[in-house]
Amino acid sequence: MTAKHTCERSHRRGCSGSSRPPFPSPNSPADKPAQYLRGVGPFRAKLLEGLGIRTIADLVEYFPFRHEFQGRPQSIDSLDLDEHATVIGVVESVKWRGRFRQQTCRVVLNDSTGTLCVTWFNCSYLKDRLQRGQGLRLFGKVGVDQDVAAMVNPTIVTWLDLEEDPAQWDYDRMVPVYRGTEKLPSRQIARMVETALTDVLNTVQENLPGAICRERQFPGRREAIQQMHYPKSAEEVASARRRLAYEELFLMQLAVMLMRRWSSVRVQSPALPVTSLIDERIRRRFPFALTAAQDQVIREITADLAGQRPMTRLLQGDVGSGKTVVALYAALVAVANHHQCVILAPTEVLAAQHFAGIDRYLAGSRVHRCLITGKTSKAQRDKMLKAIADGRMNLIVGTQALLESKVQFASLGLVVVDEQHKFGVSQRATLRGKGPTKRHPSTSRVPHYLVMTATPIPRTLSMTVFGDLDVSIIDALPPGRQPIVTRVVRSADEPEVWLGVRRRIADGDQVYVVYPLVEESDALDLKAATGEVDRIAQDLLPGARVGLIHGRMKKKEKQAAMRAFAVGDFDVLVSTTVIEVGVDVPNATVMVIQHAERYGLSALHQLRGRVGRGSKASTCLLLTDSQGETANERLKVLCETTDGFRIAEEDLRIRGPGELIGTRQHGLPEFRVANLVEDTDLLLQARDDAARVAREDPKLESPAHAILRVDLRRRFRDTIAFVDVG
């Protein structure tokens, strides 16, 4: 009996609010390694592992990406060339060639109207199953072999008992198609899934509260899994997918909310209130008035800092929007309250840039500050570390070097992290764990936490990737900033580009020229930075002072090149995307990006943000000859807007979340069903429902929620270290 029939019998109820886990643990057959499933074994288990399938439960939840409607069988004499068809016949002959797994099988299939030649390659798994007189139902594309109808590698829909009444056969079945590999094609995965469902589907228990299932009108979990693999209609697929996508989003939101609730109850931060005197003294440090957008964000941040509930806030703003000034304001609030602040940047170049700006604003102040990076000498480092541990150092700027265990703080009140998406969850946890130690030895005290990013994050991503953070947005640029004009340029018009660049250089402006590769590659027909730098200096921009920077250079060389460009020693900086996050050069007004089609929208937006940082009008030129529809769609969006959030939403739609922000490096599980582009409505519903559960039953003690406790630990124990629901 097939899994389909087993499922139908065992599956006639909806969500029940059962308190048992989705797969009973730890002795459930579903928790066994996939290799112990009939028909798998060690070799195929290794192949399955490459698809993220380790257990039988993983196999059950490995859903097809589409379904084929194979239709009613056709007689062999009615088949149309190059069309897909279903054929039922009897095996007249079987011939094998080759050895071991490289075997090829040729079968002659006959019905009452004609003969069909069928060939399967690398099909040793059929060795003991194909035999003369066997009835088969096949689905495949019709071809020709020596004037006879033929199929190559067709799907064996089923092995037939020829004594059955054909009128009872399921002709309208939607056949699942799975993402496979060359060595593990969809049809093999389908057989394994069918076996897995037969063995363990009846052990699947509901993991959503019954009230939610009824309110949202979801099918039961067992039913949804069944329908994802073997639906009877497209409507069943849609209903099952919606339920399982919601489940992923709900559990993610619940994990984040319980984590935050746990933190707010068990963990405290030092209160850092802002008085009118503190505010006045801080603002005097800036030689300009803050924008309305900056003031609004500062109000949100200071409201958080004033309490003992740890601030966990994400500060978003386009390049040049003034995030660093806001961060410094928050840092000085901590210092004014006799606590330390650390500002962490992903690179030494960016850390040095932050420190230079801070040093300029704090000239003549009594705030003791230092910069610690990998290049800091041992003697300097030891001296600074002692001052930090003693509490004599108020404001510390650095890189990941500050994450080392020997860096101890006397009273760390605030952590500011720039370019949050460059850091993984474990690194964030390590730094937050460096809370007040000497003056406040309680392990329940942690610093406030402020994240900055110039990569605008779509709402759906910020609710998942940064779901544990409140969000503040600086949605306006400082006054005096000129808009950046962006144009797509084809190779035929490239001479005009270089003519315009020469004029800009003659006027005293500076230029970035960006390439996708460091060196030329035989595999890619692309220009590269090292190969083009001489041509630019000698042929395209003769007389210009041209520098070079790329990711393979040593840190000192990169820093020297950026410094030389910043002080005006170079007119042109030829680069790779290493300048995506770099020092401010207000005099740089032109950005030329070669092979612009090779970049994502967010990367292009970040590169473009390197210019337009002064009062001069700036230009970004996207050089491409691509005819690709997706690439040209991206470039068109960039030309139409400088709104980073609209660009981020488009990038999410076009490229997906993994490409845009690298969700895997955040330690978050990848969604198997949910899609952050298509399922925004589900995400909002899941967030509301998760908030209600977390509010009403924060320890998940209710019998209706006990299963959630088990499932959260099963799903997130290796990825979100802070999940603790009691």
Q: For the segment 705-722, what is each residue's pLDDT rounded down to a tens digit?
A: 888 888 887 777 655 444
For the segment 230-243, the average pLDDT, to the nearest whole number, is 93
Terminal Cα-to-Cα distance of the chain (whole angstroms): 43
679 in a domain, yes or no?
no
Q: How far apart are CA 108 and CA 643, in angstroms?
A: 63
Same domain, 372 and 463: yes
The residue out of 641, 672, 690 marking a domain boundary is 641
Domain of 80, CATH number, reads 2.40.50.140
pLDDT at 6: 39
Q: Is the pLDDT confidence value at 498 over 60?
A: yes
**Domain total of the chain:** 4
662 in a domain, yes or no?
no
Structure-block tokens of residue 463 = 């609710």
pLDDT single digits (tens) 287-339: 989 999 999 999 999 999 999 888 888 888 876 778 889 999 999 999 999 99
Q: How far apart are CA 540 and CA 726, in angstroms?
A: 67
Same domain, 512 and 620: yes
pLDDT at 437: 45
Same domain, 429 and 517: no
pLDDT at 649: 76
pLDDT at 304: 94
Same domain, 343 and 422: yes
Q: How far apart are CA 197 and CA 13, in angstroms?
A: 17
Task: Give me the chain's average pLDDT, please.
Answer: 82
691 in a domain, yes or no?
no
290 in a domain, yes or no?
yes
Instruction: Specify the DSSP element, H or E, that contains 385.
Output: helix 378-390
Same domain, 376 and 295: yes
Same domain, 33 and 60: yes
Tally DSSP H helices, then E strands, for the chain: 23, 22
Contact status, residue 435 vs residue 449, Cβ threshold 8 Å = no
Same domain, 30 and 121: no
Cβ atoms within 10 A of the Cβ of 24, count?
16
Same domain, 77 and 205: no
Same domain, 183 and 168: no
412 in a domain, yes or no?
yes
The residue out of 641, 674, 709 marking a domain boundary is 641
Contact status, residue 626 vs residue 597, Cβ threshold 8 Å = yes
Q: Is the pLDDT confidence value at 171 over 80?
A: no
90 in a domain, yes or no?
yes
The residue out of 592, 607, 641 marking a domain boundary is 641
271 in a domain, yes or no?
no
pLDDT single digits (tens) 621-668: 999 988 888 788 889 888 988 877 778 777 777 766 554 444 443 444
For the ranges 354-363, 577-586, 695-704, which has the lowest average pLDDT? 577-586
Report the b/e string of 545-572 with b at 16+ CB within 10 A: bbbbbbeebeeeebbebbeebbeeebbb
381 in a domain, yes or no?
yes
Percent with pLDDT over 70 in the chain? 82
Report the b/e string of 188-200 with b at 16+ CB within 10 A: bbbebbbbbbbbb
Q: Is the peptide bond before 26 cis (omega within 30 degrees of 0)?
A: yes
Contact status, residue 667 vs residue 424, Cβ threshold 8 Å = yes
Same domain, 579 and 522: yes
For the ranges 200-209, 217-226, 255-264, 597-606, which has the lowest average pLDDT? 255-264
Domain residues for the domain of 505 are: 484-641
Same domain, 372 and 390: yes
Same domain, 345 and 444: yes
Domain of 627, CATH number, reads 3.40.50.300
Helix boundaries (H) for 146-209: 186-200
